[in-house]
Amino acid sequence: MTSPITYKSAGVDIEAGDALVERIKPFAKRTMRPGVLAGIGGFGAMFEIPSGYHQPVLVSGTDGVGTKLRLAIEWNMHENVGIDLVAMSVNDVLVQGAEPLYFLDYFACGHLDLETAATVIEGIAKGCELSGCALIGGETAEMPDMYPRGDYDLAGFAVGVVEKSKILTGQNIQSGDVVLGLASSGVHSNGFSLVRKLIKHTLAQQGTCPTTLDGKPFKEALMAPTRLYVKPILKALSQHPIKAMAHITGGGLIENLPRVLPDQLGAQLQRSQWPRKELFTWLQNTAGIDDVEMNRTFNDGIGMAMVIDQQHASGLQATLEALGEEVYNLGQIVPHQSGHRVTLL
């Protein structure tokens, strides 16, 4: 008699999936906040919109981690990519003035490795905890033959809320307004297809990569998790008339800042106004690209840009610095002319 052909023999281990759910429940529990009605384990996660809003508007965002995951897998560095996943979505939601409420994740793999998956999802929970949003649901998909053994992919989904009258639209931005920049923690989660190519190029040409960058081991410098700006910026929003914000992701300052500016306006930034980390110097020199291309590819040390009128700029900067952020006066808003809407001087 032939052996039965089970789901497990086809490559899907239901018991491992159940074990993962039990393993991550304590991580998710630490992220709970008022409003959660049903979380991990149900068919649908439920969240009650907080009271006190007259016209609450839900703001949603979704993103992944990109090819940074390739290095996480090759270097066995899974601890922080979950923070990256959360940050990429909650920072996006934040720029419209919204407070992130809850987060859902999607973890896909060919074969479920319990330790790796638990490590990644623990990082997701940590990112949620640091952002003040609840991890209330997700999906773990084990799909044999879709991914090579050891590989996995991530997607994240964040939902926030903002009072309709307080949505940051950027429509009140004027020429002469100041652009402040908040320091990034490193490359964050964009540009890693080029980063990986530069690593291969360096190894082929020199046989080795730098030992350290900015006082950190080379791999740790590159894999530093995306900075979470939620708590300090929400605090700053309650005290200062911020006009607009831009999360500096793929496309850098040059492509992202114009997304929040009125059509007739651009920005003139002074590259000397913020420090250049060894990490970005190495990337730029290895790639052989100029400042414009550098700031169209990487965040180049600035993870969030904020626009505010000149008279309130120093107060906003002081508040954010007191909350632990590195803040730089990058330049000002100017009438838009032909060419790039963001000019680097």
* Crossing angle for the helix pair 230-237 and 81-94, to the nearest 10 degrees: 20
Residue identified by tokens 């638990």 is: 118
Contact 165, 224 (CB under 8 A): no
pLDDT of residue 7: 59
User: Which residues in the chain belong to E strands, given as ranges?
Assistant: 36-38, 46-47, 56-63, 99-109, 134-142, 152-163, 178-183, 212-213, 216-217, 244-247, 265-269, 302-308, 327-335, 342-344
Pair (149, 119) in one structural domain: yes
CA angle 324, 329, 332 (to 5 degrees): 145
In a domain, 171, yes or no: no
Dihedral of CA 74/63/25/122: which sign? positive
3-state SS assignment for residue 53: coil
Pair (133, 186) in one structural domain: no
Whether the pLDDT of residue 289 is over 80: the answer is: yes
In a domain, 8, yes or no: no
In a domain, 212, yes or no: yes
3-state SS assignment for residue 276: coil
Residue identified by tokens 């005290």 is: 239
pTM for the model stands at: 0.93
The domain boundary residue, chosen from 117, 144, 166: 166
Predicted confidence (pLDDT) per residue in 305-337, tens digit:
999 999 999 999 999 999 999 999 999 999 987
136 — pLDDT class (breaks 50, 70, 90) = very high
| Between 249 and 13, residue with greater pLDDT | 249
Whether the pLDDT of residue 187 is over 70: the answer is: yes
The helix, strand and coil proportions of the chain, stated in percent and rounded to the nearest 5, come to 35, 25, 40
Pair (222, 299) in one structural domain: yes
Pair (234, 159) in one structural domain: no
Pair (34, 116) in one structural domain: yes
Predicted confidence (pLDDT) per residue in 196-240, tens digit:
999 999 999 999 999 999 999 999 999 999 999 999 999 999 999
pLDDT of residue 109: 93
Q: Which of 93, 154, 160, 91 is nearest to 124 (CA)?
A: 154
Pair (22, 159) in one structural domain: yes
Contact 233, 321 (CB under 8 A): no
Residue identified by tokens 């505010």 is: 308
Retrieve residue 245's tokens.
């914000």
| Structure-derived torsion over alpha carbons of residues 47, 248, 266, 296, reported in degrees to the nearest 10 | -140
Pair (66, 133) in one structural domain: yes
Pair (197, 313) in one structural domain: yes
State the Cα–Cα distance between residues 306 and 55, nearest whole angstrom: 25
The domain boundary residue, chosen from 132, 166, 200: 166
State the Cα–Cα distance between residues 247 and 90, nearest whole angstrom: 10
The domain boundary residue, chosen from 110, 138, 166: 166
Residue 55 neighbours by CB distance under 10 Å: 10
Whether the pLDDT of residue 156 is over 70: the answer is: yes
Direct distance between the N- and C-terminal alpha carbons of the chain, in angstroms, rounded to an integer:
78
* Structural domain boundaries, residue 259: 178-344
Predicted confidence (pLDDT) per residue in 6-23, tens digit:
657 666 666 777 777 788
pLDDT of residue 10: 61
In a domain, 3, yes or no: no
Chain centroid to CA 109: 22
44 — pLDDT class (breaks 50, 70, 90) = confident
Whether the pLDDT of residue 74 is over 80: the answer is: yes
State the Cα–Cα distance between residues 118 and 105, nearest whole angstrom: 13
Task: Report residue 102: phi and psi, to 5°.
Answer: -150, 165
Percent of the chain at pLDDT exceeding 90: 77
Please report, for residues 32, 103, 306, the alpha-carbon distance to residue 67 in angstroms, rounded to integers and kept in the order given: 30, 22, 28
